């Protein structure tokens, strides 16, 4: 028998030697790492509504793709309600933000088009761009002038296709906000589409939690992605776009056509979450107050720059240091994880601290004190 060669083990050994080997670990300690910003994932209110739905027969599985028998009235009701809430012409519900980003960027830009993407966009956006037939260029993070200069140069060089500007509204690893107003103006001036991933802003920021792109939602040249598995405490992703673009996705997007549809029960969960965030604006206010408290404590106690949002990176640089500090915090009862390259740029390994309604000021204060002691020991 021929012995198979397995280079995979060698590659894992290399990752381990660099301090970058990933392992699964269960939640342990207080939540300072999840994206359950509004505390809805385990909320009794949402659970009660889902129990009632199960009792009246809402299905836990869809049974097929949306274009076969997997299309249920819960999907239609969610998409109609979400379009009304966010202000989109139409919305499509996908099984996750990853598949939604993959669908948008692998399907809508065409050969001869140009995709300009912020250097720090989600991995799912990168994968969608790689699968596209359009040319693509990375733009320095949050540099609206660079977007415009690149578009201008491309047009002057004979670029005839459609430009696409791809950004996040609130960046998942840095917690900073995109210059959306400037980018929307550039998109209009150059006849470009603006694709805005609202994953970490949906439910938290903007009027009624509609996101940071609420002002631009519904424009023909704007496409949004609202993730449902973060602040909404459920599952899936909602793409907001013109009716024409949604029809094109239904007909051409492989992640939509060939994937089993999201469970009807999850579509209902998202719709109920949208109702809850509208009925309980105090959740957003409480989160904003808690995030401000955490940013102030980290800035004052540690002397570090902060983001001003619910995502607070603590840059440590070295991979091993980030892992050690995270492990010490976990041992002290604070579930904070280390983020290392290639998820973030080289030499920017960090702690990613997220503030959710699953903690309070007293927990945050204890965590900051503990982090200060650990960082002092690391010097």
- As annotated, the active-site residues are 35, 122, 168, 172, 197, 200, 230
For the beta carbon of residue 150, count every other beta carbon within 10 angstroms.
18
DSSP bridge pairs for 116: 137, 165
Phi, then psi, of 315 in degrees rounded to 5: -75, 130
Q: How far is CA 176 from the centre of its chain?
A: 13
* CA 330/CA 201 separation, integer angstroms: 27
* CA 264/CA 58 separation, integer angstroms: 7
Task: Report CA-CA distances (Å) from 238 to 43, 44, 55.
Answer: 22, 24, 26
Regarding beta strands 349-354 and 30-31, do their DSSP bridges make them parallel or antiparallel, or are they unpaired? unpaired
CB 232 within 8 A of CB 40: yes
* Residue 266, phi-psi category: left (phi > 0), alpha (psi -120 to 50), beta (remainder): alpha
């Amino acid at each position: 028998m021929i012995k198979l060669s397995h280079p995979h083990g060698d590659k894992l050994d290399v990752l381990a030697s660099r301090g970058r080997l990933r392992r699964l670990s269960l939640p342990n300690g207080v939540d300072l790492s999840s994206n359950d910003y509004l505390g809805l994932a385990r909320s009794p209110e949402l659970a009660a509504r889902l129990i009632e739905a199960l009792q009246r027969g809402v299905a836990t599985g869809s049974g097929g793709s949306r274009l076969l028998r997997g299309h249920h009235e819960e999907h239609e009701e969610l998409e109609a309600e979400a379009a009304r809430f966010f202000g989109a012409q139409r919305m499509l519900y996908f099984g996750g933000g990853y598949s939604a980003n993959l669908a948008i960027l692998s399907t809508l830009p065409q050969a001869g088009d140009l995709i300009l993407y912020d250097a720090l966009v989600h991995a799912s956006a990168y994968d969608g761009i790689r699968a596209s037939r359009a040319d693509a260029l990375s733009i320095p993070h949050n540099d609206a002038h660079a977007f415009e200069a690149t578009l201008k140069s491309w047009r002057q060089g004979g670029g005839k296709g459609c430009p696409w500007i791809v950004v996040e509204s609130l960046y998942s690893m840095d917690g900073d906000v995109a210059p959306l107003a400037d980018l929307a103006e550039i998109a209009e001036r150059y006849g470009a589409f603006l694709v805005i991933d609202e994953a970490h802003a949906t439910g938290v920021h903007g009027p009624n939690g509609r996101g940071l792109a609420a002002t631009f939602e519904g424009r023909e040249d704007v496409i949004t992605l609202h993730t449902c598995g973060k602040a909404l405490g459920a599952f899936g992703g909602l793409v907001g776009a013109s009716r024409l673009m949604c029809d094109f996705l239904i007909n051409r997007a492989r992640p939509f056509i060939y994937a089993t549809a999201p469970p009807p029960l999850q579509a209902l969960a998202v719709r109920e979450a949208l109702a809850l965030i509208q009925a309980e604006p105090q959740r957003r206010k409480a989160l904003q107050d808690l995030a401000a408290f955490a940013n102030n404590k980290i800035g004052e106690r540690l002397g570090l720059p902060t983001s001003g949002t619910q995502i607070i990176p603590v840059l440590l640089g070295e991979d091993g240091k980030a892992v050690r500090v995270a492990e010490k915090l976990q041992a002290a009862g604070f579930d904070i994880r280390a983020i290392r390259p290639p998820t973030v740029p080289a030499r920017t390994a960090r702690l990613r601290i997220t503030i959710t309604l699953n903690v309070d000021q007293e927990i945050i204060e204890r965590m900051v004190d503990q982090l200060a002691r650990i960082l002092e020991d690391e010097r």
